[in-house]
Amino acid sequence: MPLAESLAREAPGPGGKPAEVPYAEKERLFAAVKADLRFEDYLYGCYECGICVAVCPSARFYDFSPRRIAQAVAREDVELVWEQMNGEIWECSQCFSCLRCPRKNNPGGIVTIMREVAVRNGLHSAQQALEGYSRIIYKIMSTGTQVSPDMIRPEAFPDWGPTARETAENLEVWRRAMPPETMHTTSTSWEVDDKTLTELYLIWHLTGVLDMIRTLDESLHMILVDVMEEKLEEAGYPLS
Partner 1 sequence: MPINLPVIQPGTQARKGPFARRPEDAAESLRERTLELAERGEWIVQRVPEPHLEVPTRSSGVKRVPLGHTWHHKSCGQCGHIPGYSTAIFWLHRKLGLEYEDPRDQTSCTAWNYYASATANQAAQAAVALRNFAAAHQSGYYPLIHCATSYGHYKEVRAEMVHHKALRDQVREILKKMGKPLVMPEEIVHYSEWIYAVRHEIAKRKVVDLSGITATVHPACHYYKLVQEDAIYDPDVYGGHRTAIVTGVAQALGVTVGDYSTWFDCCGFGFRHILVQRDFSRSFAVQQKIEAMRDEVNPDVTLTHDTGCVTTLDKSQFAAQAHTGVKAAIPVLSEAQFCALAMGAHPYRVCQLHWHAADYRPLLEKMGIDWRERWREFEDDVARLKANPGTYLTWDDAG
Work out whether 10 is an interface residue with partner 1 (CB under 8 A).
Answer: no
Q: Cα–Cα distances in Å, from 16 out to 11, 84, 125, 215?
A: 9, 20, 15, 23
> Which one, 22 or 131, has the nearer CB to partner 1?
131
Which of positions 53-82 make contact with partner 1 (CB under 8 A)? 55, 57-58, 60-62
Does 189 interact with partner 1 (rule: CB under 8 A)? yes
| Under 8 Å between Cβ of 186 and 171 | yes
The amino acid occupying position 211 is D
Q: Does 203 bind partner 1 (CB under 8 A)?
A: yes
**Nearer Cβ to partner 1, position 23 or 166?**
166
Of 9, 169, 174, 239, the residue at the interface with partner 1 (CB under 8 A) is 174
| Contact status: 137 vs partner 1 (CB under 8 A) | yes
Query: CA nearest 97: which of 64, 62, 55, 63?
Result: 55
Our CB check for partner 1 shows the closer of 23 and 231 to be 231
What's the rounded Cα separation, in Å, for the pair 229 and 200?
Answer: 12
Q: Is 145 in the site for partner 1 (CB under 8 A)?
A: yes
CA angle in degrees (0–180, nearest 5) for 209-213-217: 175
**Based on CB atoms, which residue is closest to partner 1, 19 or 35?**
35
Contacts of 11 (CB under 8 A, 6+ apart): none
Sole binder of partner 1 in the list 208, 226, 230, 233 (CB under 8 A): 208
Is residue 125 within the footprint of partner 1 (CB under 8 A)?
Answer: no
